[in-house]
Each structure stands twice: as structure tokens, then as C-alpha cells.
Structure 1
């Protein structure tokens, strides 16, 4: 060797080579190097052919004699250098903290340093190959590590490498060639442990995409953070946060930060989807100890702990995190089988509106400062109104704020409230889209033509959606009984009266997407399957900022009947399940029906708003005709919309269909829309609806249509429709 580890590299650039208190580490590694030098010299002194290139591939009689003359494995090995391996562990620096966090003995530290030496200095690879009598084995075996630490291979030192020993349980040492005898197994230190001791604080590469460390500024401490901080410092820091409509991640992060720990937030979906989630739990616990972190895990229901393999995974994680603060959150109860110790239970209520606005303000300010976007043009009142109806976790708020700010930055304009609404919709998962049809709202209040009572009912529904957290959560106006904080409304009226369009307008006003449930994917002929399908929809909808629309709801929410056979009994069970599930639903659900009388009366009691959609009167029909024909379609001089509104009693949906049909007829002629084309479209709609064609409604247009129906329609040179050789009026 031409140099040794006593010439330490300058890790932190301050000229003393003491990167983050690593002086002790380099001194200890230098003593390991001295022992290796002495071991190599002792081996070389009795080796008849130290330059043999085929070493380890055959065994000569002389080698057998040397093995027989070697010291007994049951006697301690003479100390080859001054300092003994039983010297006290260092009190400071990363090595000292490692000893304290993993409960290591002095011998454990020596074994760790012997195994880590090849990762720090490549010369140790060849030296260990020589000492192993096999140049292909360039790391220390268990037997060689014990020898270098002055321990007999059959002594108590080998038990410091047992499966239950701190070095192995903590993940600081790994074994290769596990099928070999213990003394022949190769020791290896994970790269993350070596990097940590050398001053690196980056998260373990095996946890990328599974966990992330939350750094940087934080919002002011919440009310729940004080007792949670004391829980994080407790002897058994296992905490379960029961989510009741709030954001459990934020108080957990605040509590860990207040306790002086780095929050390590785990993506449950990525953890369970990993090919080997069991080993990852041990890596996660090791990372938390190395980095002085606490773990935040949830939501627990995404882990599906009711399944045996997932329950076992959760139990392994709780066991591996012994002594590490572990905050688990979910909406259900905690099963004692999931951990050896019972957790401390805290309930996370729904946040107050002021707290939610502070979350958004902090996230927007943080994102805006990085993107250099002016936040002054977004008044506090607009921010409060824009985010009032959303229920997002702290991570979702951070992501939505970042998206909104980047949208404003790309377009080089100040941030607007519409940017927040678009960014929130981008956080909705795709799970509900597999069960319902997503509709992005493209209409607003100006597109609605409704009577005043219906408009007031819709306004009340929007008001309830915006302030439900304050009224139902903060003021507790719906206590007990497992009731949720959802808003349920019924839209009742004939087909085409604007029920679905009103749902779309309401979604646009709240800045949400509309999810229309296709009942063909819900109703199942097999017993119990309909309830399972509905449960999947409700579970997915609870995590989405959207409005759930059950169109033609009487097909599912029908009246319970007298039980005459098994079919009636199971049909009543479906209705009873829906009654309970709708009451515990935390989102916004709209039911539409053409036949309100078919709905069970028990549903009516659980509805927050009932909006009646009557057939439009003459004034409303005139407004509908004008709206549906739009402003871009050219209109002829003979077009009489007042006649259409007065004579034809059509719903808004039918008027829109007539307007579209008439527009196609006008497009074919290339001329402005005429009254004849509008009446022709109305006649087609009447036939489609199965209604009688009465002279009292159509007047002279009905006779003209009958006359025209007996003559072939052709086109003249100007592409004008003609009948019997004469142009139509």
C-alpha cells in the first residue's frame, strides 16, 4: 500500500477533512486498515507461494498442513494493533448517532467498518480477496470479519451477525451467498448506509417513487399538532389518525417537524404495487433512522389491510419501525391484529374555511415565488370563494397550486381564480372515470332557462356545496348516526326539461367535473353485485372533487315493496343499502327522475334539495328557441319564433333537437334559416315523440307539409328546394 486512510479527503471543503463530524469515522477506518495490513503480513509470512495466480482453485498438501496448524477457532485471536475493538463507541458525529439510533455495541461498529471498507477504498477488495484465499471474493466473509475484530469464529461475536441482531434487523449489513455456511457468507453494507456515514442525506434510491421527504417552509401549526408532537416523542410513537373529512397529512407533518424530525411521506399505492414490498418496509425503517425522520403512511384503505397479505405487510412495517415515529391515517377503525402495540388514536376533523384558505395561500405563495408570478391580482375574497367547495389533502393543494401558477406563468398573466379550478380538476384520479362518464362543464347560468323556484333551488344547492364544511363540520349541524357531510339533491321533471344541463351548470359554478353514472354498468342480475358496484362508485367519488349524477335514478332508488319471494327480499336489501350509503356519503350527489312517485319515501327524507323541473311556459319556450338557434346561424326574414313558442308545447331538450335539425336543413340550402325548415324540424320531432299532428298547433304549415309530402323534392340551379317544379316559399 502506498497510502492509507489517515490522509482523509476533505468532504465538506473546509480544509480539515471532517465532513459532518466524519473525523472519527476516518480514524476508525484507519485502524481497520492497520489490522488488515497486519493480517496480510501474517498470512504472507507463512505462504510458500504468495504470487500463485490459481489461488483458491485447488488445495495442496502444504495448504492442508497450514490449515491444521492454524490457531483454534475456539480461542480469542491476539490483538494485532493497539486499540481494542471493545473501545467505547463514538459519542458524536454520524457514527455516534448511528450507534444510538440502531442500538449498536462497539463490536457491531467494528464489524460494520470492516464490511464497509471496500466501499471507501478499492484497495481493500484485493486485500480481502487475498485473505479469503479467493481473489473472486473481494468482500469480507463473516469469518474474516470476526478474525479482523479479534473474535473467535465460534465465540459470542458471531451472534452479533444473527438474523435478530441490530446490524441485520436494522438493514445495516446484508449477506450474500446465503446458501453457504455462515462463516463463508460475504458481508456487504448497503450503499445508502455508506453514503450516510460519508455525509450524504439523499433518500435511498430503492425508495424513489415510494417515499419522499417533505422539506422547506410549513404553514402555521394546527390545533392538532401539539398533542401529536408529544406523541411523536413518546416511547411507542405509533399514531393512528382517524380522518373525518380533514387533511391528516398536514398535522402529521407539522407534529414531526415540531419534534425535530424530517417527515417521510409514503405513497401507499406505490408501496403495495412494488414487486417486493416486504423488503421495502425494512428499507423504509432504515431510511427513517438514518435521516432522523418520522413516517407518514396512508390512506390505510388504499392498502386494503383486510386482505391477509396486506395485513401482514402492515404488521411487518409496524414491527420494523419500532422506535421510529409512524403516523398512519385512514377513514376506518384500527384492527389490533395489524401491530403488536396499539396505536394512539387521534381524530382529524374537517378544517375550518380559514385554515383551508391559509393552506392555499401558503402553497400559492411558495409556488409563485419560484415561478415569479404576481399574486397581488388575486384578491383574498376571490381565493376564498374559489377554493371553498374543494376538499384536498396538503399534497394535492401543493400540486394544484403549482399547476395554477405554471399556467399563469406560461401565458404571462396574473393568476386567476379559474386557474385554481382547472388545477383542482387535474388532481382528480382516473378511478371514477372507469365507473362513470366524466363531463367537463361547458355551460353556465346564462344558458339555463328555468322558472324562478327551480333557479332558487339550484342556488341553494350551490350554497350548500360551498359551505358544507362550515355548517356540517365546524358547526356540527348533522351530528351522530354515522352521517356524512355530503349534499344530496333530487331533480324531478319530464324528459328534456333541463335536469342534466342544470347538473352541468352547477358543476361549472363549483369548478368541478360532472360524473354521470351509467346504470347499465351498475345494475347486475346476480344478488349482491349491484351493491358492490355502487360501493366502488361511492368510494372513488369520495376522493374526487366532482359531482356524481345518477340519471334515471328511479331504476336504482325505487320503492321497497312487500316481500312475496326471494327477489323482493333482495330488492329491498338493495334499497336499504342505498339509504344507508347515501346518508354516509361525503360528496355531492344528484339524482334525476322522470317519475318522482316511484322513489322510496325514505330517500326523500335524506335529500337536501328537491328541484322540480316543469314544462316551460310560452315565455320560456321563446327564450329557449332563441338560445338554441344561437347567434351564428343566419335567420330568414320569415322566421317567427313567437309562433313556435306559442303553438308548440315542447320541452327544452326537444327544442334543442328541433334547432339542430333545422340548422342541418339550412346548411344544405346555403341560405338563411326559414320558417319552413323550422316547422319541418318540429314535425320530425313530433313524429319521434309519437305525438299527434294537430291543425290547431301547426295551422297552415301542416297542410303545406302534407302537400309537400306528396311531391318529390328537387333542387333548382341555385340549390333551392323545389316541389313539383316550383320553388318553396
Structure 2
């Protein structure tokens, strides 16, 4: 017992001296020399801390521990090299061997060099066998692994073979919120502490990637572990290489007191990943988005919700400090529109605090602008951002349609009051978002109305390219849509689906597999639209082709009529910029052209280019030439009744 206690309290320098004395006296070669100047500060080391911890981590016997110290000494001290050469009676053979360890160290046992024992299983030492030279196992040179050497000397490092695959997490200051608000994450902590050695992973499931990452960081923070990440796609294809990687990470996790977050894509081989996870004997969490194949992996499944509105508001107040008191109702709008995670709130609040402002109103505008900029990161790669320039005066619509659009603006503007302050969001789990369908012929102002609403609410407007979302491969369309909806909810932007009938069409009778999967796409859209909490505007030229169940989930439906003559005259009056030179244009006569507002804009633009080329003002000749071009595009004749009186 006293001998065991002595070894436990031994510092690294003391262990080196003890093993060195055993080496020289056991071989009967020379008088032991004093310890040389070592490449570390032995006085700063807690006695036996790293060496004792290493012995406990990998269950080393006292003999195995001393073999490791022997290899360490030969790597960093000249006296060990000299002693080894003297023991071998060969000045060139200045390395340690297992045979030398058996002959000189206490409590030797042959099993220490076995492949299943810790020294070789965890690659704490390596047997060097030069190519072409036969070296018996007993006399093969031994050397300490470089990563283990750095650990014992207190040198910050990571295993070289893991450096390109694993990456440390950046830890938000308030990442622990996720753990405190969800008892299920405490189950994950108990699972790690109780079963991590059995290789059972924690599956972090949920819709939001940022929330899953924050949950992992929260687990690590509570468990006192350093968080790292690995992409499942980077796992090697060869089974032997995967096995080596599993052992290396298990060793690294023990040395760094670390946990691993495995990020998965839908195309990853989950069977291969499951086999690799079984070999890892360290805390592991898997990023398993809802509906992904990673959810089928064995392990403890945890549903990770996003931050609630109350938690987002508390995070904003905590990060903004005194600035939050000047935001008044704007903070509630920010919380309602921008569903940020803790890290994004921290980044946005940091920018807001560093901005020097004098007026309270300026603080509100700046905070809102910063949130819009932060939200763009998630959508810029998935949709096209439109800069809204249209105003209410640019919309020429009947009073009924104009009033409906104004009602939409009211719903968007008062979302924070109704959903959060009045408790509607807590009472009803779905339908917190706003969806509107704009139906009408091409050019009747549907996209312009979306611009007006986005500008009225000071929100970004993103147009979704449906052609880029629809895929012929089964399940890909739903995955693409999921990414768009997730990003839109976080960004607070207005989402515009142009010509949505291509994607939101009626379900058909199932005649083959194509019909079945097409109906599944529509069913997914119905479910997602019902749970969507952002602002979605959909436009269509063929309302009758939309699925009836989908239409029932739309809060507002606005029918954009084809403009009558009076409306066309008003459109013509406002179509030209005030700086454009005009030559006695009769708007009443131009209103005879039986076309929609979009076509009127095209004619006005083309006529302006013709006038600029001719060096004249914009007049009837240019408008007539432009009209003929547009009518040809529409494949319809320009009749004399439409040009009567001005041609």
C-alpha cells in the first residue's frame, strides 16, 4: 500500500529518476547520474498529476507505467540513451527494448507488450521495426508516441491524424440555457456519465441546426468537457482505418477531456457510422435533423426545441444591457420576427452595443437593421433577395383588395402583441405565422404587393426559385423545402413563392410510384405550412389548380383583377419617373391598350430606350413601337380600337 501511494504522489521528474536508477543498477553498468535539465518546468507540475492520470485513464499496471516512463526518458534525456547503449553493450543500440524493461524494472509481465494491452492498443508506445531488418519482439526498439509525450510534458497539442478531421467548437457565453430549460438534456448528461464508455451516442434531434449545436455545447459545459465536431462524411471508407480513427479519438477524448459532435448529412452511410460509433469509448452526440436517416442510429434520442420567445427576450436583455431599455416595443418585435439562437443573439447584441448612437429612435432602427443583416446569412444561399422599392401609391387596385393588403400589414405589424403579450402563441401551438395567397393574371401586381408589404414592415423579401427546389429524386424536394422554411423562420424575412401552383398543386389519384411520391411532397408542404411561423406569400396564375387542403391553411387570399380602363390610366400616369422627358402623352388614350400593369411597365421602359437612342422625348411613336414589340411577345394583335385616336 505504501509503495502504491508513493507512485501515486510521484512527480514526472521523480519517476524518471527512479526508472533511470532501475535501468543502470539493474544492468549493472554505471553509477546513476543526476537528472538533467528537462524541457519542462518540473516545479510547476502537480506531483504525479499527468503521469498518474495517464495511468488511471488507460488502466496501466505499475510495470506498464514504468515502461512508458523509460520510453519517455530515452526521448528527452541523454542519460537514458547512454544507459541503454551501455545495457546493450553496443554504442549504436541506444534505444529501449521490451527485453531491457523485463530485465530492469519491477513487477515485469510479458502480457504488457500484447496487442490487446493498453500500451499497444491505445498506441501509447510504438514498436519500431526497420524495413528489411528482422527484429525479435523482445529486442525491437520501443518509442513513446509523440502525442503522449506532449501530454506528459504539458505541451498543448492534438493527435496529428485527427487534426484535419476534428474541430473545436466556439462556446457561446450563455450556451447553458438549453440545458436548464429542457430536462431531457439532463438525461443526456446522465447517459454520458453512465454509459459513454459503452459507446452509446446521444442523438440530438430537432428542426433547428443551431439549437442542436447549442444543446451539445450545453451538455459539454455542464459535464466539464471540451466540445469538438466531426463530419460523418470524413470517416474513412476502409474498416481498418475507421477502427484506428475510433481508437485515436477515444484516446484523444481521454487526454483532452473532450466530447465529439458528429455532424451528418442525408447522404451519409448510417450503417457505417453506427459501426464506428460502437467502437468509440467516449462521450459522443450525433446531429440528427428531424426526418434524417441519422435519427435511426442507436442511442439516446433527445428532442431539442429552439429558444422560446421568453428565453430569446431574456437573452437579448442580458446581452444588450442598458441598451435594451431604450428599445421599447422594438425588442418585442425583434423577438417575434427573428428566431435567433443564443450565439446569433450574442453576435448581434455585440454589434449593437458597439454602435455609438445619440437618439433612442436611432437605437431602435439600428438594432432592427442589425437583426436583418444577421438573418440574411441563413437565406442568401437558398433564395434571391429583392430590394423592396414599391410603395402603397404604386399599387393600383380596387378598394377591397387594397383593404385586404392593409389588413395583412396589420397582422404582420401586431404579431408581437397578439402572440406574445396576449398569449395567443402559448394557447395555440400552430398557426403563429402569416400566409397569404395572391392570385391573378401575370402582371397584375402580385409581386409588387409583396414588395409593398415587405417595405411597410421593414423586412427583407426573398423570392424562392421553385425550379431549384423540385428534384426528381425521392425525398430531395422535401429536404430542399425544409432548409428554406427553417432559414426563413430564423431570418424574419418575407418569403415569396412565385408561381406556386407548380409545387402546391392538387393531389392526384395514385396510379404509379411517381403519383405517390408527388402526393407525399404536397402532404409535407401542407404539414410545414401549418407549422410555419414566418411570413409566406404565394402567387399563382391558376388558383383552381391548388390543393383545397392547402388553400384552407392560407390566412389571406387576395384576387388581383385584370385592370379596367380607369385603372390602366392611373397605372400609365405613375409609370414614368418624374425626371423622364415626356412629349404630350394622353393617358386616357393609352388606357385603351388592354394589358396588365407588368406589360405597361415593359412598354414604358422600352419606349424610354427608343427615345434616348433617338435623342427625343418619350412620345406616342416610341410607345407605339414598344407596344407592338410587347404584343408580339404576348402573341396577340395590336388592334385599331386600342390605338384609336393616338396613331
Tell me the TM-score normalized by structure 2.
0.74
Task: Tell me the residue number matched to 1:331.
Answer: 290
Q: Structure 2 matches for 1:262-273, cutoff 5 A?
A: 262-268=225-231, 271-272=234-235
Conservation of the 8 A alpha-carbon contact between 2:440 and 2:560: yes
Superposed displacement of residue 27, structure 1 = 1.0
1:327-726 map, 5 Å: 330-332=289-291, 338-339=297-298, 342-343=299-300, 345-359=301-315, 379=327, 381-386=329-334, 388-395=336-343, 416-428=367-379, 430=381, 432=382, 438-444=383-389, 446=391, 449=395, 451-456=401-406, 458-459=408-409, 462=412, 475=426, 477-478=428-429, 489-503=436-450, 511=459, 514=462, 516-519=464-467, 522=470, 524=472, 529=473, 531-545=474-488, 550-561=497-508, 568-585=511-528, 591-616=538-563, 621=568, 624-625=571-572, 628-631=575-578, 633-641=579-587, 643-644=589-590, 646-701=591-646, 704=647
**8 Å CA contact retained: 1:465, 1:487:** no
Matches within 5 A, 1:109-508: 109-121=65-77, 124=80, 128=84, 140-150=96-106, 157-170=109-122, 172-177=124-129, 182-183=137-138, 186-201=141-156, 204=159, 206-207=162-163, 210-214=166-170, 217-218=173-174, 221-222=177-178, 223-224=180-181, 228-229=185-186, 231-233=188-190, 234-237=193-196, 238-243=201-206, 245=208, 247-259=211-223, 261-268=224-231, 271-272=234-235, 279-295=244-260, 297-299=261-263, 301-302=264-265, 307-317=270-280, 320-321=281-282, 324=283, 326=285, 330-332=289-291, 338-339=297-298, 342-343=299-300, 345-359=301-315, 379=327, 381-386=329-334, 388-395=336-343, 416-428=367-379, 430=381, 432=382, 438-444=383-389, 446=391, 449=395, 451-456=401-406, 458-459=408-409, 462=412, 475=426, 477-478=428-429, 489-503=436-450
Q: How far off its partner does 1:25 sit?
A: 1.5
Q: Deviations over 1:472-499 (max 9, x none)?
A: 99637347xxxx9886653321112233
Does the 8 Å CA contact 1:462/1:510 hold for their aligned counterparts?
no
The residue that corresponds to 1:106 in the other structure is 62
* 211-220 vs 466-475, which moves further: 466-475
What per-residue deviation string (whole Å, max 9, x for no partner) do you get for residues 457-476 of structure 1? 75378569989997999637
CA deviation string 1:487-541 (max 9, x = no partner): 66533211122334555666775755635334388365xxxx3x44413422433
Gaps of 5+ in 2: 1-7, 35-45
Matches of 1:356 and 1:534, distance apart in 2 = 31
How far does residue 582 in structure 1 lie from its aligned partner after superposition? 0.9
Shift of 1:264: 0.6
Backbone CA RMSD of aligned residues: 4.8
Which structure: greater helix fraction?
2
Q: Alignment partner of 1:103: what SS?
A: coil
CA gap 1:618/1:355 in 2 versus in 1, 3 angstroms: farther
- Secondary structure (helix, strand or coil) at the match of 1:351 reads coil
User: How many Å apart are 1:595 and its aligned residue?
Assistant: 1.1
Cα deviation for residue 670 of structure 1 reads: 2.9
Distance 1:119 1:37 in 2: 17
The answer for unaligned runs of 5 or more in structure 1 is 1-20, 46-79, 82-89, 366-373, 433-437, 705-729
Structure 1 pair 337/385, CA: closer, same or farther in 2 (3 Å)?
Answer: closer
Residues 433-460 of structure 1 deviation map (CA, whole Å, 9 limit, x = unaligned): xxxxx31221145276254145247537
**Closer, same or farther: CA 26–514 of 1 in aligned 2, 3 Å:** same
Instruction: Quote how far apart the aligned CAs of 1:24 are.
Output: 0.9
Please give the alpha-carbon distance, in whole angstroms, between the structure 2 residues aligned to 1:514 and 1:398.
25
Cα distance in 2, alignment partners of residues 128 and 624 from structure 1? 97
Instruction: Give the TM-score of the pair, scaled to structure 1.
Output: 0.67
Paired position in structure 2 for 1:31:
18
Equivalent pairs counted in the alignment come to 594
Query: What does the per-residue CA deviation read over 1:581-609, in whole Å, with 9 as the maximum and x for residues that have no partner?
Result: 11343666654321111223233234454
CA distance in 2, matches of 1:592, 1:134: 88
Based on CA coordinates, which of the two structures has the bigger radius of gyration?
A: 1
